[in-house]
Amino acid sequence: MPEPKENLLMEKIVSLCKRRGFIFQSSEIYGGINGFWDYGPLGAELKRNVKESWWLTMTRQREDVAGLEATIIMSPEIWKASGHVATFADLMVECPITNKRFRADQVDEQSGFAHRFIGAFNRTLLSAAMAELASSTTSPIHGFDKAQTNEQVLKLIGFINRSNPTHITLNTVLAGEPREDFVRALYAYCEEVLKRRPAMDIKGPVAIFEEVNVLQPYSSGLETKNLYKTAKAFYEKRGIVDPILLLAGRKEVDKTTAYNPENGAELTKPRPFNLMFKTFVGPVESDDNVAYLRPETAQAIFAQFKNVLETSRQKVPFGIAQIGKAFRNEVTPRNYTFRSREFEQMELEFFIKPDEAIEAISSSVATPATKGHPGEPQANWGWQLWHQYWVEERIKFYEDIGLPRNSLVEYWQKPEELAHYARATVDILYKFPFSKRDEKGELMGEELEGIAARSDFDLSQHARFSGKPMGVFDDELKVAWEKLPKEKQDDLWRRYYENRKKYLVKTGLASEQASKNATNDANGLAKGQYLPHVIEPSAGVDRLILALICNAYNEDQAPDEKGKMETRVVLKFHPRIAPIKVAIFPLLKNKPELVAKAKAVRDLLRPHMNAFYDEAGAIGRRYRRQDEIGTPFGVTIDFDTLGEKGDELKDTVTLRHRDTMKQERLKISELLPFIMSKIH
C-alpha cells in the first residue's frame, strides 16, 4: 500500500527537525525514552520566542493580568482538592503479548475473524507422546475408551506427522468428540510420558490452557501468517517452547476496538490509570511523603490566588498567567511531540464576578449578540461574554504568530463532553497532517488549547480542602446591593444560593448542611462577598511549536548556482517567532574588508535580535541553509557595500526576503528599523 501523503509529510518534518537541530529524542544515545523530547539550538530559540509572545500578549501588554512562576512539586493536598488524585485517569488497555498500553478510546476499529485459542502444547513432547500412543495396544488415555482414543490419536498422529502444524484445529482434526476434555486427558498423558522419560529434557511447561483471542482483520487480506505468529508469541511468553496451538473456533466481529491493531491480540479490559507521576519528598519512601509532578500549571494559580490578589493590587476581573512544565504519564504518547509525558503549558486563569454580582451592579448581564470578538471588556459582561472574548483573543494570538485562520478549528464541546463543573469549553484545534479526516475528507484538527468557563469550582475546592477563605470582598457590589429593590435582592440571593447548593451537594455534603452553607454564601453575596468564577485559556507550548513547524513547512522550486531549478525546502515562520531573524553573509570569506564589514553589521543587529553570521560556501547555498530553518531575512555584504562602485552604493547591502526570494538594496542604517518593524 502506498504511504499516505500526510505520513510522508510528517516524516519529512520529523527528519528536518532532527537534521537542523529543532527537536531531538530525549536520551537518544541510550535508545531514547518514550514520550520525552529535547529542543535543539533552533528549537530552543523557537520555543523562547513563542513563550515570549504569549507572555507579552497575555500579561505585559495588559493591565489586568499578573504573572506567576510556581514550583512543579506542590503539596499533595492541592491534587486532592483539584480532583486529580481521585479522577485524573485515562481508561487503559494492554496487549497481553507486548504489554504495550493504549488509551481505550484511541484503539482503531477493526473488523474480521476473531480466532479462539484455548492453549498450546510443547511440540517435542506432544510428538513423542503421539509416537508412544501409536504403538500402544491398550487405551492409555484416562477416561476415554480404546476405540474412541485410538480414532482420535490416529487422526492426530496423522495430522502432526503430515503437516508439522502451527496449530491443531479442534473442530476438524478432533471432530465429533468432547474435544477439550480429550485435550486435557492428552495433557495428563504427556506429563506421564515426561515422568517416564526424564532424559527428554523438555524446557518449560508441557502445555498451557490459557485462552487468547486473536483477530485476523479483513484489512490484512486475511493472511493467516500473522495470526499464528501472534498466538505463538502469547504462549511462548508464558514459557511454552515451540508451541503447537489449539484452535477452538472463530467468529466474525464488526468494528471492534478490542484487539491490538499491531498484532491482533485481544487487549485487556479497560482499567483506569492515573496519569500523575509520583515521587517522594525527603529521604523516606512512605505514603506520608508522596508528592506529584504537577499535571497542569493551573492549580498553583488557584492556590496562590489570595497572595497575588493582595500583592498585585488587582481587582476582579483580573487574571493570573503562568508558563511552565507539566507532566503526565500518558498511556500512549504519540504523534511526535503532540502527546508527550513532559511538556509545557501556558495557562491563564481569568477571575470574573459571578453573574449575580454583575446583575446587582449593572442591573443586567450583557448577552452575546453576535459571533466574533465582542470588543473591549465591559462592566456588564457575565461569564458568557468573557468566555467569548477569550476564545477570540486566543485565536487572534495564533493568527498574529502565523497560523492562518483556516488552519484552526473552533470546537465547542458538547454538553456530554464537558467536565461536570464547566459551563462551556471551546477547544482550538490545529489541522495537523496526522489529524483524522471527516466524511468530506477535511482534516478535523487536534487540540492546541482549551478555553473553559470553569465556574467557581476551583476556588471553592481549595477553600474547602485548605479551610482558608478564597472569596473576595467587592465594595462596588456591596454599595449596589443596598440600593436594589427587595424583590431583586431576593431573586439574586436565591439564584446564588441555588448555584452554591448545587456545588455543595456534589461535593457529598448532606442536603441540610449544604443548604446551611449555601445560605451563608448567599448572605455573603448580599454583603459584597463572593468566590470569583474563572475563564481558563490553557495552551500547550509543545503542540504549538509542532503546529508552527507543520504550518511553516513548504517545498517550492528555486534555481541553484547554475540556474537549474531544484526543490527548495523552506520554513515560512512568521518573523516574530523565527529562531534566527537575520543571517549576515560576506560575499567572499577571503576578502578581509568584506568579512570585517559583515561582522560590523552583525554586531549592529545582534543586541536587538538573534542574528547569525555565515561565511561558508557559495552564497546560494548559504541562502538555502537559512531558508530551511526559516530565517526571514538574509543580508549580503558585497563590493558595492565597500564603495567600489562609487559613493551611492557605499554602505548599502542586499536584503533578501526568504519567502519571495526577492532582493532589494538597503542602507545599513535602515536595516535595524526595517527588521525590528517585522519582528515585533
Amino acid identity, position 415 = P
Query: What is d(CA 121, CA 129) in angstroms, rounded to the nearest whole number?
Result: 11
Amino acid identity, position 605 = L
Q: Is 446 in the site for ligand GAP (CB under 6 A)?
A: no
Q: Which of 450, 528, 537, 630 binds ligand GAP (CB under 6 A)?
A: 450
Shortest Cβ 205–ligand GAP spacing (Å): 41
User: Could you tell me the three cell numbers for 112?
Assistant: 474480521
**Selection from 13, 536, 113, 84 nearest residue 321 by Cα:** 536
Q: Are 65 and 348 in contact (CB under 8 A)?
A: yes
Q: Is 455 in the site for ligand GAP (CB under 6 A)?
A: no
Shortest Cβ 448–ligand GAP spacing (Å): 5
Q: Which of 84, 339, 387, 431 binds ligand GAP (CB under 6 A)?
A: 339
Q: Is 540 in the site for ligand GAP (CB under 6 A)?
A: yes
Query: What is d(CA 648, CA 314) in angstroms, rounded to the nearest whole number?
Result: 56
Q: Which of 296, 458, 627, 640 binds ligand GAP (CB under 6 A)?
A: 296
Shortest Cβ 651–ligand GAP spacing (Å): 47
Shortest Cβ 340–ligand GAP spacing (Å): 4
Q: Is 447 in the site for ligand GAP (CB under 6 A)?
A: yes
Q: For ligand GAP, which stretch binds (CB under 6 A), given 69-77, 235-243, 340-348, 556-564? A: 340-348
Shortest Cβ 542–ligand GAP spacing (Å): 5
Give the DSSP H/E element, type plus range, for residue 664: strand 663-667
Q: Which of 101, 462, 543, 581 binds ligand GAP (CB under 6 A)?
A: 543
Q: Which of 234, 259, 302, 343 binds ligand GAP (CB under 6 A)?
A: 343
Angle between helices 475-483 and 355-362 (to 10 degrees): 60
Binding string, residues 485-524; x marks residues near ligand GAP by CB under 6 A: ----------------------------------------
Give the DSSP H/E element, type plus range, for residue 605: helix 592-605
Query: What is d(CA 7, CA 446) in angstroms, rounded to the nearest whole number?
Result: 16
Q: Which of 167, 328, 387, 597 binds ligand GAP (CB under 6 A)?
A: 328
Instruction: Report CA Rg, the chain.
Output: 34
Helix residue ranges, H only, 243-330: 298-303, 305-312
Q: For ligand GAP, which stretch binds (CB under 6 A), given 80-88, 335-343, 361-369, 634-642? A: 335-343
Q: Which of 266, 474, 542, 638 binds ligand GAP (CB under 6 A)?
A: 542
Q: Which of 207, 240, 531, 539 binds ligand GAP (CB under 6 A)?
A: 539
Q: For ligand GAP, which stretch binds (CB under 6 A), given 155-163, 192-200, 252-260, 535-543? A: 535-543
Residue 253, φ and ψ in degrees, nearest 5? -125, 150
User: Could you tell me the three cell numbers for 671?
Assistant: 536595516
Query: What is d(CA 274, CA 272) in angstroms, rounded to the nearest whole number?
Result: 7
Q: Are 193 and 129 in contact (CB under 8 A)?
A: yes
**Selection from 619, 611, 562 nearest residue 588 by Cα:** 619
CB-nearer residue toward ligand GAP: 59 or 345: 345
Q: For ligand GAP, which stretch binds (CB under 6 A), given 246-254, 443-451, 555-563, 651-659? A: 443-451
Give the DSSP H/E element, type plus range, for residue 171: helix 170-173
Q: Is 340 in the site for ligand GAP (CB under 6 A)?
A: yes
Residue 58: how many CA atoms within 13 Å on its side-chain side?
28
How many residues lie near ligand GAP (CB under 6 A)? 18
**Selection from 673, 569, 666, 576 nearest residue 623 by Cα:** 569
Angle of CA points 196, 198, 202, to nearest 5°: 120
Q: Is 330 in the site for ligand GAP (CB under 6 A)?
A: yes
Q: Is 528 in the site for ligand GAP (CB under 6 A)?
A: no
Q: Is 122 in the site for ligand GAP (CB under 6 A)?
A: no
CB-nearer residue toward ligand GAP: 174 or 326: 326
Q: Is 386 in the site for ligand GAP (CB under 6 A)?
A: no
DSSP state string for 387-447: HHHHHHHHHHHHHHTT--GGGEEEEEPPGGGS-TT-SEEEEEEE--TTS-B-TTS-B--EE
Shortest Cβ 323–ligand GAP spacing (Å): 12
Residue 53: how many CA atoms within 13 Å on its side-chain side?
25
Shortest Cβ 350–ligand GAP spacing (Å): 13
Shortest Cβ 90–ligand GAP spacing (Å): 11
The burial of 193, by beta-carbon neighbours within 10 Å (0-12 exposed, 13-18 middle, 19 or more buried), is given as buried
Site for ligand GAP in 346-375 (CB under 6 A): 347
Q: Is 410 in the site for ligand GAP (CB under 6 A)?
A: no
CB-nearer residue toward ligand GAP: 243 or 537: 537
Q: Which residues bind ligand GAP (CB under 6 A)?
A: 296, 298, 328, 330, 339-340, 343, 345, 347, 447-450, 538-540, 542-543
